[in-house]
């Protein structure tokens, strides 16, 4: 389980400046080349919390992990856009507390803290994670790893039947279809 300090990660992304490719829409070499030829500079200065959640969701799907991202404040009035994000639970700390406190409480309440990965550059959160033997990762490092993972070309697995060839009955069927019976 990965727990992310949402605004801390957003701030780290914005501080990092421009990046080479956009993991939001990176679907393949052709799309990357088209964007590059348009001269579009891919920077994340204007990335929103919703866009970040979708990017993190793609990363979590790719890695097979589940995650939770906590933002400071109350968030937008209509939170329904955050409801159907796969592998990622999105929450807002509210007015009475902050995301750091919510995340600290989650670390303390975890029954398997060694399985937690806490993403924040906040020293207090990283110390709380280490105190419970959870893994603490700085936001900048997490973002760099996320980008690398999402920018990798995916290899398509061949179906096992391709290696085995056609069965005898399938071969006979195709020979009959093409009128090539032996």
Give the mean model confidence (pLDDT) for residues 87-108. 95
Which domain CATH number covers 147? Answer: 3.40.50
Total domain count, the chain: 1
Any domain includes 182: no
Mean pLDDT (the chain, rounded): 83
- 73 in helix, strand or coil? strand
The DSSP-derived string for 128-175 is HHHHTT-EEE-HHHHHHHHHHHHHSPPPPPPPHHHHH---HHHHHHHH
Q: 35-64: per-residue pLDDT in tens?
A: 333 333 345 567 899 999 999 999 999 999
- pTM of the prediction? 0.71
pLDDT score of 75 more than 70 = yes
Domain region containing 119: 2-177
- Identify the residue whose tokens are 């697995």: 157
Any domain includes 108: yes
In this prediction, residue 126 carries a pLDDT of 95
Range of weakest confidence among 23-32, 112-121, 168-177: 23-32
pLDDT score of 27 more than 50 = no
């Amino acid at each position: 389980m990965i727990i992310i300090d949402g605004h801390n990660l957003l701030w780290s992304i914005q501080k990092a400046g421009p990046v080479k490719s956009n993991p939001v829409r990176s679907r393949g070499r052709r799309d990357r080349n088209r964007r590059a030829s348009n001269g579009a500079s891919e920077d994340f200065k204007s990335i929103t919390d919703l866009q970040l959640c979708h990017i993190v969701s793609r990363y979590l799907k790719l890695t097979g992990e589940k995650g939770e991202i906590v933002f400071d404040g109350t968030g937008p009035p209509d939170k329904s856009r955050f409801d159907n994000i796969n592998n990622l639970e999105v929450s807002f700390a509210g007015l009475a507390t902050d995301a750091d406190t919510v995340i600290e409480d989650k670390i303390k309440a975890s029954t398997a803290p060694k399985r937690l990965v806490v993403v924040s550059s906040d020293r207090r959160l990283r110390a709380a994670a280490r105190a419970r033997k959870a893994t603490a990762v700085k936001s900048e490092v997490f973002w760099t790893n996320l980008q690398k993972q999402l920018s990798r070309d995916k290899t398509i697995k061949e179906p096992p039947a391709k290696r085995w060839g056609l069965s005898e009955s399938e071969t006979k069927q195709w020979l009959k279809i093409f009128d090539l019976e032996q």
